[in-house]
Chains A and B, each alone.
Chain A
Amino acid sequence: MHALLEVKDVTKSYFENGKEFKVLDLVRFDLAERDFVCVVGPSGCGKSTLLRIIVGLDKPTSGAVLFEGEPIRADNPQVAMVFQSFALFPWLTVQQNVEIGLEAKGTPPEERHRIARKFIDAVGLTGFEDAFPRELSGGMKQRVGIARALAIEPLLLCMDEPFSSLDPLTAQNLRDEILQLWANPDLPPKAVLMVTHAIEEAVYLADRVIVLSSRPGRMIAELQIDLPRPRNRKEPEFYGWVDEIYSLIV
């Protein structure tokens, strides 16, 4: 049995004028089904780079990423990504934006329509099918991003700072709705990997938190957050975890 995802000693360097600029250093962890893992680390420590390598959009300088035991490929339909900037097509409606990943997968039109509807509904966007991104609030745009990612019914959902361009209230509401979706076993994905620089957010969401050092990102700790859900950010146990991670990074 393979883990769903194996990140094996991933190191990444950029080279400029023959000089090495190391961004990631020997990052190693696994993801199994039903894992909700957050990677936290200071700004610029290589989180986005790591995520791009994990989904196959970028190559490690050394090390490997295996998905279900095989080297990851960028066109793997079992892996979906949600971006900080939403990455929606402004000239397409909500419905069309969600269908786009299914189109790439070769799903027939009627099927696309049905599946897109299902996930638009799951993220609370029914009613906005015909709206264009410019007619949506930031939170709703990100819901479209999430629906689009889920619509391909991926095993692994990757998210790069998905809440960091939203106002604090919208972000908190969306975190809770992500957890509602996650708690529904009938919906994809089987595992979530999210990167964030917000420690509180990681402790609020994750079963496991991976802490990276400042650049080059090295693994400082891997912590099992055993707090029951729903979590209350005001409780001392919650704060204990947040403080511990702060002290590890600083």
Chain B
Amino acid sequence: MSNSGEGDGRTGGVTDFHPIAKVSVGQILGLVEAIDEVGGVADVATISQEVDMDLDRLGPVLGAAEFLGLMTVEEGDVRITDLSRKLLHANVRERKAIVRDIIDDVPVFRLITDMARKAGRPLSRQEIIEALSARVGSHQAEDLFKALVYWGRYVELVRYDSQSEQLTLRTPSK
């Protein structure tokens, strides 16, 4: 995994959401399915051909899948992991739970959920952006915020109202 586990420093942790920032869950699952179909391992060029996507578009999805622990890339060979196989055989609800366990451990995600928990009230978009900007710069903070909301919603840990621009925590259903 490209997630630098060592030290778990507060500053080092923040940018580590970057690999999944512009990729959707559906794309990652689609990639896992495609590699599974060709036997669970293939080189990047073959995958690119199989899924009919050039490397510019495929690259971020591969990076995201690797970051989530769903595949390993070694000497150009991409291999799906046991976690991927678990995901493949899971239903929609189980898939969310699996991804939730991963996302919940990502430091930058923790940073925001801890902030909301401590505050005990909804957080405004502005204060989250400020907290993120202090660490990654204002330029990246916007993208990071969007990604946090997207993944947070998907794993059902975050509720965000884009009209009032308020973020709250939620308890996943069932």
Give the B-binding residues of A (Cβ under 8 A).
121-124, 126-128, 130-132, 135, 137, 139-140, 167-174, 176-177, 180, 232-234
Residues in A with CB closer than 8 Å to B170 are 127
Interface residues on B, range: 35 or more
Given the known A-B contacts A140-B24, A168-B51, A180-B91, are A127 and B30 also in contact in the complex, defined by CB atoms under 8 Å?
no
Contact mask for chain B residues 152-171; partner A; CB cutoff 8 A; 1 contact, 0 none: 11111011111000000010
In the complex, chain B residues 70-109 whose Cβ is within 8 Å of any chain A Cβ: 91-93, 95-96
Q: Is the interface of B mostly helix, strand, loop or mixed?
A: helix
Q: Which of A126, A169, A232 has a CB less than 8 Å from the CB of B27?
A: A169
CB of B118 within 8 A of chain A? Answer: no
Do B26 and A131 touch across chains, with their CB atoms under 8 A apart?
Answer: no
Give the A-binding residues of B (Cβ under 8 A).
24, 26-31, 33-34, 37-38, 51-53, 57, 61, 91-93, 95-96, 149-150, 152-156, 158-162, 170, 173
User: Which residue of A has the minimal Cβ distance to B32?
Assistant: A173
Do B92 and A172 touch across chains, with their CB atoms under 8 A apart?
Answer: no
CB distance from A215 to the nearest CB of B (A): 26
Do A173 and B33 touch across chains, with their CB atoms under 8 A apart?
Answer: yes
Residues in B with CB closer than 8 Å to A176 are 29, 33
Residues in A with CB closer than 8 Å to B37 are 232-234
Given the known A-B contacts A173-B30, A174-B26, A234-B37, are A167 and B155 also in contact in the complex, defined by CB atoms under 8 Å?
no
CB distance from A233 to the nearest CB of B (A): 6
Do A124 and B38 touch across chains, with their CB atoms under 8 A apart?
Answer: no
Residues in B with CB closer than 8 Å to A169 are 26-31, 34, 51, 53, 61
CB distance from A178 to the nearest CB of B (A): 12
CA of A234 to CA of B30, assembled, Å: 15
